[in-house]
């Protein structure tokens, strides 16, 4: 029998481990893209609904978001679940693991919520891969009462204080004029040439990018027939930087490259930002330190704190959350045979034995981290005071 709150939350997760693994596999088996995760969203709600959580569907006005609440304590903890997949390669980022571990964390914390003065908010956040679901939910007020937020992400190594890059995206549409490519090319305005000029300008810009800045893009429309001068062409670019200020500077330089394509060819153009910008992660040091010790307790070997910032980074909309309130987004190691996230082999591994272990142990580590926050008066007061300042701002 559990004798402490720490024991109690671990006991809940281990008792329900097979259900959590089953949930992970069920989401993995039916991958759904951003803002279309209807089945995955429903699956993520099922176990907490049975436990008596109060469910708010379509949280923040997003059809595939939800919030499930339990408890009435003064300290509200947000547990973020992701469940969107990638085009063609499914759950190659392991969001099925994220969702199942989040559900396990919420179920575990519900067991001790009244004793610890907690309100547990499981927040289903769609469209992390594309769309910025958490940024939209922040703007809609879904996190307004949340004092601290936690989640995890699978990856090739255990990283307690994972970082990420700030990110923004741009879709550039060039409009020219169609004409026959052999009979009257001089009467056309070639939108594909505008794409080429912009791509060359971006390629030259790479030499002068500041440390931590990077860009990557694709051509999503370059014409439909070789004998027609393309009247329309489209570029899509992602821009990243270590900090949001650096990202703003990079955006200005990239937009100049896009403009150059139009200027050189006589095309018109417009730039659309299809999703909110992602801020860089700002992990709460105390929470990360506790999580690191929880990793070690379970026999994991987290990357040493002094090396964490030097690791390769992607981007996540959890960064937006951690810029507003205390939070963590640790990486829990999954053995994928050397494969990295966003590779097909990782998608296969995301439903394998190592991933199943990550679901169960991840939920245990997150739940025990929250318990220690709730039971440490100075840290509890710190996050509550930060929330009060935010609420009164």
User: How far apart are the C-alpha atoms of 347 and 337, rounded to whole Å?
Assistant: 12
Domain boundaries defined on the chain: 5-164+279-392, 166-272
Looking at the structure, give the CATH architecture of the domain made up of residues 166-272.
2-Layer Sandwich (3.30)
pLDDT tens per residue across all 393 residues of the chain? 577 999 999 999 999 999 999 999 999 999 999 999 999 999 999 999 999 999 999 999 999 999 999 999 999 999 999 999 999 999 999 999 999 999 999 999 999 999 999 999 999 999 999 999 999 999 999 999 999 999 999 999 999 999 999 999 999 999 999 999 999 999 999 999 999 999 999 999 999 999 999 999 999 999 999 999 999 999 999 999 999 999 999 999 999 999 999 999 999 999 999 899 999 999 999 999 999 999 999 999 999 988 888 888 899 999 999 999 999 999 999 999 999 999 999 999 999 999 999 999 999 999 999 999 999 999 999 999 999 999 998
What does the DSSP 8-state code read for residue 140? Answer: T
329 contact partners, CB below 8 Å, separation of at least 6: 151, 152, 153, 162, 164, 281, 283, 316, 318, 319, 322
Assigned fold of 5-164+279-392: Aminopeptidase (3.40.630)
pTM of the predicted protein model: 0.95
User: How far apart are the C-alpha atoms of 342 and 315, rounded to whole Å?
Assistant: 13
Query: In residues, how long is the chain?
Result: 393
* Of the candidates 142, 196, 150, 109, the residue with the CA atom closest to the CA atom of residue 326: 150
User: How far apart are the C-alpha atoms of 264 and 356, rounded to whole Å?
Assistant: 54
> What sign has the CA pseudo-torsion 279, 61, 142, 140?
positive
Cβ contact 274:159 at 8 Å: no
37 contact partners, CB below 8 Å, separation of at least 6: 64, 83, 84, 85, 126, 127
């Amino acid at each position: 029998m559990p004798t402490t709150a720490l024991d109690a939350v671990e006991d809940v997760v281990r008792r329900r481990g097979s259900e959590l693994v089953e949930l992970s596999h069920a989401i993995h088996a039916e991958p759904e893209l951003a803002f279309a995760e209807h089945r995955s969203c429903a699956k993520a709600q099922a176990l907490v609904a049975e436990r008596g959580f109060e469910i708010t569907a379509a949280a923040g006005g997003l059809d595939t978001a939800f919030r499930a609440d339990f408890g009435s304590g003064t300290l509200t903890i947000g547990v973020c679940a992701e469940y969107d997949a990638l085009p063609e390669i499914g759950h190659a980022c392991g969001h099925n693991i994220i969702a199942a571990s989040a559900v396990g964390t919420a179920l575990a914390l519900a067991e001790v919520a009244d004793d610890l003065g907690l309100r547990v908010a499981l927040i289903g956040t769609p469209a992390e891969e594309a769309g910025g679901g958490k940024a939209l939910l922040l703007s809609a007020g879904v996190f307004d009462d949340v004092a601290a937020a936690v989640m995890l992400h699978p990856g090739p190594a255990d990283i307690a204080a994972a970082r990420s890059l700030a990110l923004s995206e741009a879709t550039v549409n060039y409009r020219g004029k169609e004409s026959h490519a052999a009979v009257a090319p001089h009467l056309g305005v070639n939108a594909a040439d505008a794409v080429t000029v912009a791509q060359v300008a971006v390629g030259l810009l790479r030499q002068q990018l500041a440390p931590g800045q990077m860009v990557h893009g694709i051509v999503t429309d370059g014409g439909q027939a070789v004998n027609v001068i393309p009247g329309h062409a489209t570029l899509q670019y992602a821009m990243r930087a270590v900090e949001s200020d650096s990202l703003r500077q990079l955006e200005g330089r990239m937009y100049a490259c896009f403009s150059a394509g139009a200027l050189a060819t006589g095309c018109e153009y417009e730039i659309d930002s299809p999703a909110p910008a992602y801020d860089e992660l700002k992990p709460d040091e105390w929470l990360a330190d506790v999580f690191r010790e929880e990793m070690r307790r379970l026999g994991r070997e987290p990357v040493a704190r002094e090396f964490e910032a030097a690791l390769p980074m992607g981007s996540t909309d959890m960064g937006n959350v951690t810029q507003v309130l205390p939070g963590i987004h640790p990486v829990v190691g999954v053995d994928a045979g050397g494969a990295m996230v966003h590779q097909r082999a990782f998608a296969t591994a995301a439903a394998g034995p190592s991933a199943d272990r990550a679901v169960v142990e991840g939920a245990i580590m997150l739940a025990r981290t929250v318990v220690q926050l709730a039971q440490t008066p100075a840290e509890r007061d710190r996050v509550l005071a930060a929330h009060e300042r935010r609420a009164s701002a």
